[in-house]
Amino acid sequence: MRASTRKILSTFATAAVTSGLIVFNATASDLDTLVKGCANCHGKDGASTESTVPIIGGISEQYVIDSMAIYKDRDRPCIEAEYVEGPDKGKKTDMCKIVDELSEGDIEALAKFYAGKTFVRAKQEFDPAKAASGQKIHDSNCEKCHADGGSSAEDDAGVLAGQWIPYLEQTFKSYASGERIMPKKMKPKMEKLSDEDIKNLIHYYGSLQ
């Protein structure tokens, strides 16, 4: 079910065309409404200004689709958070509730929208010494899948360079606890790293501004 969900989401348009089904793409007005909803937490064009909310503008289309599938499968913790802006400002929600209300067409439309934006790196404080050590750790363990210092969206592994440090800390904590399932290629690499290594790695990504 989990693998098939990802496959369906990532190939939905092609499958629909070849099988003669109608693709339920979001209309321009629908997309505008969806984007406004996302912006209430992730900021305009996905350039989040909240340190615990990830920057999503500029990440790859496939990464968005895969991430939504993971939320649908509940393989990623759905952390409750408050809306930062909009009519529901102050009210709490989580990504599992949000993704359950999205159709395949909605997800594909949002994925294309955010993939077409620029990743705006967070301006934040970091520890230069930790960042220097973290760069060596990245080069030895992470560069193969997170190319160009974690700045390439083309590897479909998310953009790490310039992402918010508090969000990355939260993410690595979820990986360590098992709440968030690691990709198979990532697991052996992560298991070799100490807590200090991970801190250094996070500061390296946060230093890339």
| Boundaries of domain holding 13 | 2-115
Q: What is the DSSP letter of 53?
A: S
Does one domain contain both 109 and 135?
no
CATH number of the domain at 24, please. 1.10.760.10
Q: 38 is written with which tokens?
A: 């996302």
Rounded distance, CA 94 to CA 108, Å? 20
Model confidence pLDDT, tens digit, residues 70-94: 999 998 999 999 999 999 999 999 9
Model confidence pLDDT, tens digit, residues 47-57: 999 999 999 99
- Which sign does the torsion angle of CA 67, 68, 69, 75 carry? positive
Q: What is the pTM of this model?
A: 0.85
Model confidence pLDDT, tens digit, residues 89-116: 999 999 999 999 999 999 999 999 999 9
Question: Residue 99: which residues within 8 A CB-CB, separation 6 or more?
Answer: 68, 71, 72, 107
Residue 171: inside a domain:
yes
Residue 165: inside a domain:
yes
Does one domain contain both 100 and 164?
no
